[in-house]
Structure 1
Amino acid sequence: MELIDAFDTAFKEWDRLVHEVAEEQWEDPTPCAEWNVRDLVNHLVGEHLWAPLLLDGATLEEIGDRFDGDVVGDDPVAAWEEAGGASWSAFHRKKALTGQVHVTTRMMPAAEYGWQMTLDLAVHGWDLAHGIGVRSRMLDELADAVYERAAPEAERWQGAGVIDPPVPVPDDVVPQDRLVALLGRRP
């Protein structure tokens, strides 16, 4: 699966799920122990607020702390629609994925950044689906593509405290379950 197709697939599912959150579910827990549904959406909104600027060549210093804290306000769905729309457009700009972007630890190829954003959308989509009690619809092709890129990094991410240790699963699980288990979730 090509990057932009993977991004679009994960984006579409995340968007669907954000629009399915019922008013009384924003404080419900998610598989991310430190985040409830609202916190999880806030995290992704924040990530997608950064994306257009990073893909345009902005440095972390130029962006500063403007996206720290609560970025969803009183209307998390509208905040997602605005941030997601700008991010989607930025990722689809001609040659957007050919350069380098500034991230916390280093300069990174924009395509690698695109895969990280795709992973966030896909896996946090799974988290959000579980948080609101609906079925996650991650396509096998998407889960396989994200797994292929996440597996070599998983140990480093665990060491940095970004993800929990992998959860053992049988060899014959569906690709979605294999991916989320790699990243410390219990499918």
Structure 2
Amino acid sequence: MIPEAKVFLLAEQAVVSVYAQLRDEHMDTMFPPLFDMEGANKPLPVRDVLRHHVYDDAWIPDMLAGRTMDEVGRDRYDGDLLGDDRMAAINQIAEAAMEAARKTEDREAVVHCGYGDVPTWDYFWQLNIARTLAAHDLALHIGVPSPITEELARGMYEGTAPSADMWRSFGIYRQPVEVGEDASWKDKYLALTGRRP
């Protein structure tokens, strides 16, 4: 398993752990945008955040297998993937995504995303950032502890700090926040993304 996939497992588990703490009254609350990029900078109901996540997760096994969206069928995962038992659906789809990640051995294998082809390592960093920030921000939104562990935070910091300016140019990371040299990995990573620890 490649290093980026190991970070993905931690990030996926973190965000799913927050989803498990959602109550029905949370589902229609408006969740602030994770990113400042155009098209992703508007608040969404928490229900829609979950729908987007499971849709994204559902594609992961196909993407890591090198399939194109046209080969799979662009509407293959359209519709309600959450069903009547949202956590059962989330857990099932997340486990399939994590199992595909565990089998990933080639960092340079091509992933055919909807916007173009990228190497597997790049695809994973996009997934990892989205899941880690969603886990942290959604936990704050519903008033539960952030699930970002030191292991996950260190992986995210070391993996994305060298390219942080690029992520900022896309509107994914915000302007960094200053933290001390002795800050925890979690605080360093959050500060890197523009979040106050």
Question: For the superposition of Structure 1 and Structure 2, which TM-score range results when normalised by the shorter chain?
Answer: 0.7 to 0.9
Q: TM-score, normalised by structure 1?
A: 0.80
Unaligned runs of 5+ in 1: none
Give the match for residue 46 of structure 2.
37
Query: What's the offset of the Cα at 1:13?
Result: 2.0
Q: TM-score, normalised by structure 2?
A: 0.77
From 157, 160, 165, the counterpart of 2:167: 157
Percent of aligned positions with the same letter in both sequences?
32
Give the match for residue 96 of structure 2.
86
Give the match for residue 144 of structure 1.
154
Distance 1:108 1:21, change over 3 A: same
Structure 2 contact 31–138 (Cα < 8 Å) conserved? yes
Structure 1 contact 91–97 (Cα < 8 Å) conserved? no
3-state SS in 2 of match to 1:102 = strand
CA distance in 2, matches of 1:184, 1:31: 14
Query: What's the offset of the Cα at 1:70?
Result: 5.7
Give the match for residue 23 of structure 1.
24
Superposition map of 1:1-187 within 5 A: 2-32=3-33, 34-62=43-71, 63-67=73-77, 71-93=81-103, 95=105, 99-161=109-171, 163=172, 165-171=174-180, 172-187=182-197
3-state SS in 1 of match to 2:66 = coil
CA distance in 1, matches of 2:67, 2:24: 36
Query: What's the offset of the Cα at 1:78?
Result: 3.0
